[in-house]
Amino acid sequence: MDCRILLCNTYHLGHRPGHERVKAAGGLHKMMNWNRSILTDSGGFQMVSLSKLMTVDENGVNFESPHTAEMMALPPEKSIEIQQALGADIMMQLDHVIHVLTTGDIVKEAMHRSIRWLDRCVQAHTRDDQAMFPILQGGLDLELRKECAEEMAKRAKVGIAIGGLSGGEEKDHFWKVVAACCAALPPHLPRYVMGVGFPVDLVICSLLGADMFDCVYPTRTARFGTAMVRRGGLMQLNQKRYKEDFLPIDEKCQCNTCRTYTRAYIHSVIGKVCAV
């Protein structure tokens, strides 16, 4: 896919092989022999999604380890320490993530706390060869988003992320928040909309002024046997009709997959080559 930037997962790498070990190996780039860019997340999101027990207080995110059941804390400083050891080109601040459909005072509190945590991340950030992106919060409230964008833009040096979206909100609300954030941000900072990957969202958000996206959608979709094709949208290669179809996914495509594998071959290995 000739991708230029790879997202690596701080939580999983911090657990195994462990950020100290990655650091000893010379950082993620050396460990993987990957000489293009790497972005790491803050680790907070996995704690929220993987942990049964999770609380947030001013100090940071507290969670029960899914591996040992012991209670652990991730303050903003620790997130930056791990990401600096991993050596990503772009690190993300630890933010207070709430579900996008949450309403009430907590939305405002989480937004203000994310700004305070950003200041702590800035303090903890000591390597000048790594960039750090703030993450805008504020739920679906356009005024809170604007306030957050103005505060965080003052602290952002290289780029800025729009977080807390893509969690089941209506498209209309989602696009309005992206539009409001992009309008409130200075033009020189690249805007990264987190967790977004459906083709239509990429097109609309690009038109609204967004520059970067990340999503499990392409890899998860492929893993479940669906190819995204130029014409016709999605091709479900697990369907029986591809069992003896010896054409490539796209006859005109010059990519490695299309030049190497037939639909029948892919049909035969779905679910076998990768653990789901």
Residues that bind Zn ion (CB under 5 A): 250, 253, 255, 258
Neighbours of 196 (CB within 10 A): 21
- For the stretch 155-170, what's the b/e string if a residue is b when 16 or more beta carbons lie within 10 angstroms of its beta carbon? ebeebbbbbbbbeebe
Tokens coding 234: 């999605």
Q: Give the shortest CB-37-to-Zn ion separation in angstroms.
A: 23
**119 classed as catalytic:** no
Minimum distance, C-beta of residue 239 to Zn ion, in the bound complex (Å): 19
Residue among 183 and 253 whose Cβ is closer to Zn ion:
253
Query: Among this protein's residues, is 211 annotated catalytic?
Result: no
E-assigned strand segments in 142-186: 160-162
- 82 burial level (CB within 10 Å; 0-12, 13-18, 19+): buried
* Order of strands, sheet of 54-57, starting from the edge strand that comes earlier in the sequence: 54-57, 60-64, 71-74
Q: Among residues 176 and 223, whose Cβ is nearest to Zn ion?
A: 223
Distance in Å, CB of 271 to Zn ion, minimum: 21
Q: Taking the CB of residue 233, how many other CB atoms lie within 10 A of it?
A: 10
Alpha-carbon span 56 to 76, nearest angstrom: 12
DSSP 186-224: -TTS-EEETT---HHHHHHHHHHT--EE--SHHHHHHHT
- The torsion region of residue 247 among left (phi > 0), alpha (psi -120 to 50) and beta comes to beta
Residue 226 CB, nearest distance to Zn ion (Å)?
A: 14
Identity of the residue, 101 or 255, whose beta carbon is nearer to Zn ion in the bound complex: 255
Q: Which is nearer to Zn ion, 142 or 258 (CB)?
A: 258
Question: Which residues fall within 8 angstroms of residue 72, CB to CB, at 6 or more apart?
Answer: 62, 63, 64, 65
Quick one: 198 or 261, whose CB is closer to Zn ion? 261
Q: Least Å distance between CB 56 and Zn ion?
A: 43
Catalytic residue selected from 89, 141, 214, 250? 214
Interior angle at CA 133, CA 60 and CA 216, nearest 5:
85
Could you give the residue numbers annotated as active site?
A: 41, 214
